[in-house]
Amino acid sequence: MLFKKQPQIGREAMFKSKPVHNDQLEWEKNDDGEVVVTLTRGDSWKVRTLSKIFWIPEKKSLLLDEIGAEVWDMCDGRTTVEAMIKRLSKSHQLNLKEAEISLLAYLKKLGQKGLLGFAVAKKDLPGSLRRKKASGKAWGQ
C-alpha cells in the first residue's frame, strides 16, 4: 500500500516515553531564558534543484519562549512525558488536564518538525512495531 498508516503508540506508552532532542540540531539558550534552535537546509538533490528556482535560506532560526525553553530543557531523554506534565502543572498553576493537553500538542508539533524524538520502551510499543528495528518513527529501548 502506498499510503500505509503508521501504527500509533497508545496513551499509556506516550506518557512513559522520554522526549529527546534531535542531536543534529544546533541550539543555544539566550540571556532572556529563551532557546534558539537553528535548522540547517538539507542537501538532497531535490533541495539543491528547488534552491536554484526559489530562494531557500541555508539556515533558519526558531525561537522558543520561556515556557517552550522549559519544555525543551526537560526533553533530555531521561524525563518522561508524565513527569513533564506534573512539573508544568505545578510550576504554572494548571490542572493536570490543562497541562496534559497543552504539552502533548506542543510536543506533537516539535516532533512533526523533526526537533524531537520519543524514546519508547520496546514493551510499550504496539506488536507490529515491537518486531521492527528502531527507526526515526519509534525508538525502541
Domains of the chain: 11-140 (3.90.930.60)
pLDDT in tens, 8-29: 677 888 899 999 999 888 999 9
pLDDT in tens, 39-90: 887 778 887 788 778 877 888 889 999 999 999 999 999 999 999 999 999 9
Query: Which residue shows C-alpha cell 496513551?
Result: 11
Nine cell digits for residue 64 = 522558543
Sequence-distant (≥ 6) Cβ neighbours of residue 120 within 8 angstroms: 9, 13, 16, 17, 138, 139, 140, 141
136 DSSP 8-state letter: S
Q: What is the mean pLDDT of residues 27-43?
A: 87
Give the per-residue pLDDT at 72.
Answer: 96
Residue 126 confidence (pLDDT) above 50: yes
